[in-house]
Amino acid sequence: MSIKFPPPNPAPTPYARLTVLGAGSWGTALATVLARNGHEVRLWSRRPDHAAAINATGENADYLSGVTLPQGITATADLATALNGTEALLIVTPSSTLRAMCQAIAPMIPAGIPIALACKGVEKRTGLLLSEVVSDELPGHPVGAVSGPTFARETALDHPTAATVAFPFSYADRLSPENSPAARLALTLSGGGFRPYVSDDLIGVEVGGAVKNVVAIACGMMSGAGFAENTRAALITRGIDEMKLLAQALGGRRETVTGLSGAGDLTLTCSSTTSRNMSLGHQLGQGIPRPNCFDGRNVVVEGEVNAVSVTDLARRVGVPMPICETVHSVLHGGADLQEAFSALWARPIEAEPFALDLSLEHPAPQTSLHFGVRQ
Ligand SMILES: NC(=O)C1=CN([C@@H]2O[C@H](COP(=O)(O)OP(=O)(O)OC[C@H]3O[C@@H](n4cnc5c(N)ncnc54)[C@H](OP(=O)(O)O)[C@@H]3O)[C@@H](O)[C@H]2O)C=CC1
Ligand SMILES: O=C(CO)COP(=O)(O)O
């Protein structure tokens, strides 16, 4: 008697034609990964002269100077041209622009195509996750995210890089996973140094991406104020706990936060001033006034806006996020940086992990931070 094995799952089909909205550093890096893998990419910039310069020079000198863009990328400032005939869309403009971007593309986006968010944040006014904003404005599209520890320049230069592609799995996706947007987009992105993982926990992935920027500002503030590795490790670890609690409260999974989009991205962003969030915190910690940071240049620092939206959301769902609250109080509440971080460190002793209820009423410890003592 011969045993009949079920046929192996068929392989997913990559998307052949994609649109990237946002020709900043990360949009251009993702377009580069896709085009390097042989896919056709329309890269949208809101400035016609910028799109024309990218096409003329094969370089995005404004954001990734010195990186030669592969064949297959066509820049355009016309949304209809960018979206015509596309099979999948990546949105890579700052989170604060997302709702307006969705409204602008609503009349011209091809029906039902998957939309992957590569921006990170929570909407300020509503406290919605970015995927919820997209679903609000563009119903009928699978919505997911690409997120992880991915500095744009390194990604564009094809350094080994890993990221998570997350879409909620529908019933149909479970029946034929090879047709799921997560599997298809992951395969489309996969190649060279870029290694995607797939997830169905979009909430967990999005929470990680939004919170890590706020915690990175905290790390920067403390490093700018003269503290070093112990402090960074403490903030990273306790920051992961804040992510876990928020992810879980919103219906995501705690384990997701230990992955690339949570702990991975937090570690990257808190480890170097290549991160704009870390860098802003560092400058503020050194005592540089906000208007003078980045030499007065207007730089996208998602954690600055998201310090407000993340803490508002956390308060609404009853999750304590003391690090994010501290950053919020310094950036937006007029709190003194040294006093705010001293208060953070002087909170009553808690259990770790937080979920363990030791039912102890600890008094606040006699803690004080010695700012100004350099190592
Ligand atoms: N850079 C990175 O390493 C990574 C960034 N990200 C995320 O990607 C998102 C975009 O950041 P990033 O590419 O780095 O930012 P950049 O500053 O490099 O580029 C921002 C882009 O957004 C455009 N833009 C700004 N305001 C608007 C607007 N109102 N409407 C439409 N487009 C606008 C800019 O256009 P213009 O040039 O005309 O101003 C530019 O193309 C952020 O959420 C960030 O957190 C995620 C992973 C890695
Ligand atoms: O999200 C990023 C890397 O994953 C980029 O971080 P910054 O926005 O802080 O530069």
193 and 219 fall within a common domain: no
- Residue 243, pLDDT score: 98
Q: Mark whether 210 and 193 lie in a shared domain.
A: no
* CB 149 less than 6 A from any atom of ligand 2: yes
Binding positions for NADPH are: 25-26, 46-47, 63, 120, 152, 276, 300, 302
Query: pLDDT digit string (tens) for 296-341?
Result: 999 999 999 999 999 999 999 999 999 999 999 999 999 999 999 9
Whether 97 lines ligand 1, by a CB cut-off of 6 Å, is: yes
Residue 214 sits in the same domain as residue 293: yes
User: Has residue 280 got a pLDDT over 80?
Assistant: yes
Distance in Å, CA 71 to ligand 1 centroid: 22
* Ligand 1 atom 9: residue of nearest CA: 119
**Within a domain: 361:** no
Mean pLDDT, all residues of the chain: 95
Number of structural domains found in the chain:
2
pLDDT band for 367, please (50, 70, 90 cuts).
confident
Answer whether 0.80 is exceeded by the pTM: yes
Instruction: State whether 32 and 152 are in the same domain.
Output: yes
Q: Judge whether 23 lies within some domain.
A: yes
Question: Is residue 8 included in any domain, yes or no?
Answer: no
For a pocket test of ligand 2, which of 33, 120, 297 has the largest count of ligand atoms closer than 8 A to its C-beta?
Answer: 120
Q: Is residue 156 part of a domain?
A: yes
Q: Clarify whether residues 211 and 187 are in a common domain.
A: no
3: in domain: no
Which of 158, 173, 200 terminates a domain? The answer is 200
Q: Is the CB of 150 under 6 A from ligand 1?
A: yes
User: Distance between terminal CA atoms of the chain?
Assistant: 75
Mean pLDDT value of segment 105-126: 98
Domain, as residue range, for 152:
17-200
Q: Is the same domain home to 71 and 117?
A: yes
Residue of 28, 65, 93 best suited for mutating to test ligand 1, as the one with most atoms within 8 Å of CB: 93
Atom of ligand 1 nearest to the CA of 148: 47
Q: Are residues 213 and 184 in the same domain?
A: no
Report pLDDT for 119. Answer: 98
Same domain membership, residue 241 and residue 105? no
Do residues 34 and 164 both lie within one domain? yes
Hey, which of 43, 266, 300, 306 would you mutate to test ligand 1's pocket, going by the most ligand atoms within 8 Å of its Cβ? 300
Question: Which pLDDT band holds residue 358 (cuts at 50, 70, 90)?
Answer: low
Query: How close is the Cα of 49 to the center of ligand 2, in Å?
Result: 26
CA of 116 to the centre of ligand 1 (A): 15
C-alpha distances out from residue 70 to 21, 28, 60, 95, 184, Å: 18, 11, 11, 27, 22
Structure confidence by residue, pLDDT tens digits, 119-163:
999 999 999 999 999 999 999 999 999 999 999 999 999 999 999
Encode the chain in three state secondary structure.
CCCCCCCCCCCCCCCCEEEEECCCHHHHHHHHHHHHCCCEEEEECCCHHHHHHHHHHCCCCCCCCCCCCCCCEEEECCHHHHHCCCCEEEECCCHHHHHHHHHHHCCCCCCCCCEEECCCCECCCCCCEHHHHHHHHCCCCCEEEEECCCCHHHHHCCCCEEEEEECCCCHHHHHCHHHCHHHHHHHHHCECCEEEEEECCHHHHHHHHHHHHHHHHHHHHHHHCCCCHHHHHHHHHHHHHHHHHHHHHCCCCHHHHHCHHHHHHHHHHCCCCCCHHHHHHHHHHCCCCHHHHHHHCCCCCHHHHHHHHHHHHHHHHCCCCHHHHHHHHHHHCCCCHHHHHHHHHCCCCCCCCCCCCCCCCCCCCCCCCCCCCCC
Nearest CA to ligand 1 atom 15: 24
The ligand minimizing its distance to the Cα of 161 is 2
CATH number, domain of 195, equals 3.40.50.720
**Is 100 contained in some domain?**
yes
Domain for residue 34, yes or no? yes
Q: Looking at residue 195, what is its pLDDT?
A: 98
Does the pLDDT value for residue 8 go beyond 70?
A: no
Same domain, 55 and 143: yes
Same domain? For 47 and 143 the reply is yes
| CATH number of the domain to which 305 belongs | 1.10.1040.10
Write out pLDDT tens, residues 68-99.
Answer: 999 999 999 999 999 999 999 999 999 999 99
Q: What is the mean pLDDT of the segment spanning 102-128?
A: 98
* 353 has pLDDT over 80: no
Pair 146, 266 in one domain = no
User: What's the pLDDT score for residue 359?
Assistant: 55
Tell whether 360 is covered by a domain: no
Q: Does the pLDDT at position 60 exceed 60?
A: yes
Ligand 1 neighbour 95 (Cβ under 6 A)? yes
Expressed in angstroms and rounded, the spacing between residue 164 Cα and the centre of ligand 2 is 15
Annotated binding residues: 25-26, 46-47, 63, 120, 148, 150, 152, 212, 265, 275-277, 300, 302
Task: Note if 124 is an active site residue.
Answer: no
